[in-house]
Structure formats: C-alpha cells, structure tokens
Structure 1
Amino acid sequence: MEFNGLPLHALVVHAAVVFGPLAALAGLLYALVPRWRDRLRWPLVATAAIALGAIWVAYLSGEELTEANTYGGPLAALVETHEERAGILRISMTAFAVLSFLAAWWHTRTGPVRLVMGGLVAASAVVTLVYVVLTGDAGAQVAWYGVEG
C-alpha cells in the first residue's frame, strides 16, 4: 500500500508513535488520579481508539512491506526484532483499548470493579507504552541501518 508514492507504513507509524503513548499516559492518569477520571474518560477513549487503529494499520502495512522486500544479513535480524515487538504491541494495544473502553463504560461503578478496572488499565497502559518505545526503536534501527551519524 502506498500513499502519494510513499509506503503507507512509513506514514502511519508516526500516528502510532504519537497516539500510543498519549493513550497510555491518559490511561495511567485515569487509573491513578481519581479526581481527573471524569475529565479524562472521553480523551482516553478517543486516543485509545486512534492509537488502536494506527497500530493495526501500521502492523498490517508493515507485514505487506516486509513481504515486498527481501532483507538479508544483519538487517534481517533487525526486521525480525521489529516484527516480534510489533506483534506484542498489537496485542497489548488491543487489550489496553478494550480495557479503556470498558473502564469508560463502567465509569460510575465503585468498589472492587473500579479498583480492578483501574489496575488493569494501568498495567496494560504500562505494557503498551513500553512496547511502543521498543517497537519504534527497532523500526528506527531498520530505517537508519547503515547511516553514519
């Protein structure tokens, strides 16, 4: 897939790298700062939905890009690392988004439901944030392979 001559993957990863951490940070604040929950509920849902879409499109377009190219040597190992991390990111972002949507849906609940949902949102936000960074770093290593700085 291309957009205006550029691979779609090269364009959409920027949305994933921006909205993934924003959604994760919103999820952490939602879970850890009770007085901000009312204000953060809808921004959390919006950023999680955008990040989820961006990460899935990045994953699928990356798969297509990899199939269209043949990598060898050290670059192949970098691409494999990036693909493995992207697979984990795709799963963690999906889980985080579902948990964020459920937390927003059950926003008025109290007691154990609120505590469990807050803990799950926070934990999945941390995993998502870590894997956005790890996947982005591995992708940057592929993109900048062989460039001396």
Structure 2
Amino acid sequence: MELNGVPLHPLVVHAVVVFGPLSALTGLAYAFVARWRWLLRWPLVVLAVVTAVASLVAVAAGEDLLSARPELAPIVEEHEEAGELMRNVALGYVLVAGFAAWALGGASALASGRGARETRLGIPAAALLVLGALALVVTVFLAGESGAEAVWG
C-alpha cells in the first residue's frame, strides 16, 4: 500500500500515535471527572473507534510493506509483535470505552437534569476504562519505540 509512492505504514502510524494517547486521556478524564461525562461520552467512543481503525490500517500496511521488502524481517520482528499487540489492545479499548459510555453516568447538560444516570456497574466500568487507557498508552509507546529502533538503530 502506497500513497504517491510513499509506503502507507509510516503515514498511518502517525494517526495512531496522535489518536491513541488522546483517546486514553479522554478515557481517564471520563473515568475520573463525573461532571465532564456528558461532554466526553461521544468523543470517547469516537476516538476509541478512530484509534482502532487506524491501528488496523497500520498493521495491514506494515504487513504489506514487509511483504514488499522481506529483507526487513529480522529488524522489524519485535516491532511487528508490538504493533499486533497494540492493535488488539486498541480493539479491546473500543469495547471498554463503549461499555463505560453506557455504564457511567454523571451530570446532564440539560437544565432539567434528564439523562443523568449511573448503573450499578459504574465502578467496574471506570476501573476497566482506566486499565484500558493505561494499556493503550503503554502499547502505543512500545510499538513506536520498537519501530523507531528498527528504523533509526
């Protein structure tokens, strides 16, 4: 996969590097600041989905790049494994973010207060969201670090 002769992988990776931590920070804010939940609910879900899609495209483009340049296999093996782990974590984070968006309530943007609710699963949802956000940041870092090491030595 190429875009104007440039391999797509290094281009898409930057989307993961930007949206992954942004999604994780949104998840942490959503978990800890109840009065912001009405504002962050949809951005949390959208950012999680965008991160997961970008990671799917990055892994597919990386595999395509490796098949076009098989001589890179020895130096990108660790990066490939870290990227696949990050993709799996990003996909899991979509599920966790969706669950948290459903289970966690908070203040309502409406003057009447309608729409403010919290299920009995609020604390477990917040805990899962925090763990998912931390896992996402760590795996994005590990994949990026191993990729930079493979490219720059």
Task: Normalising by structure 2, report the TM-score.
Answer: 0.85
Count residues with an aligned counterpart.
142
**SS state at 1:71 partner:** helix
Amino acid in structure 1 at the alignment position of 2:63 = E
CA distance in 2, matches of 1:130, 1:40: 22
Report the alpha carbon displacement of residue 53 of structure 1 after superposing the two structures with TM: 0.8
CA distance in 2, matches of 1:111, 1:9: 41
Amino acid in structure 2 at the alignment position of 1:129 = V
**SS state at 2:48 partner:** helix
CA distance in 2, matches of 1:58, 1:41: 26
Larger mean Cα displacement after TM superposition, 34-43 or 21-30: 34-43
CA distance in 2, matches of 1:66, 1:117: 38
Report the alpha carbon displacement of residue 112 of structure 1 after superposing the two structures with TM: 3.3
CA contact (8 A) 2:104 2:125 kept: no
CA distance in 1, matches of 2:140, 2:15: 11
- Structure 2, unpaired ranges of 5+: 106-116
Corresponding position of 1:127: 135
Q: CA RMSD in A?
A: 1.6
- Structure 1, unpaired ranges of 5+: none
Kindly report structure 1 stretches of 4+ aligned residues shifted beyond 2 Å.
Answer: 105-112
Corresponding position of 2:62: 62
CA contact (8 A) 2:104 2:126 kept: no
CA distance in 1, matches of 2:125, 2:37: 12
Work out whether 1:139 is the aligned partner of 2:147: yes
Amino acid in structure 2 at the alignment position of 1:85 = A
CA distance in 1, matches of 2:17, 2:147: 11
Corresponding position of 1:25: 25
Work out whether 1:116 is the aligned partner of 2:113: no
Larger mean Cα displacement after TM superposition, 104-113 or 115-124: 104-113
Amino acid in structure 1 at the alignment position of 2:23 = A
CA distance in 2, matches of 1:107, 1:32: 10
Report the alpha carbon displacement of residue 124 of structure 1 after superposing the two structures with TM: 0.8
Report the alpha carbon displacement of residue 128 of structure 1 after superposing the two structures with TM: 0.6
Given the superposition, is the C-alpha separation of residues 92 and 47 from structure 1 closer, same or farther in structure 2, using an over 3 Å criterion? same
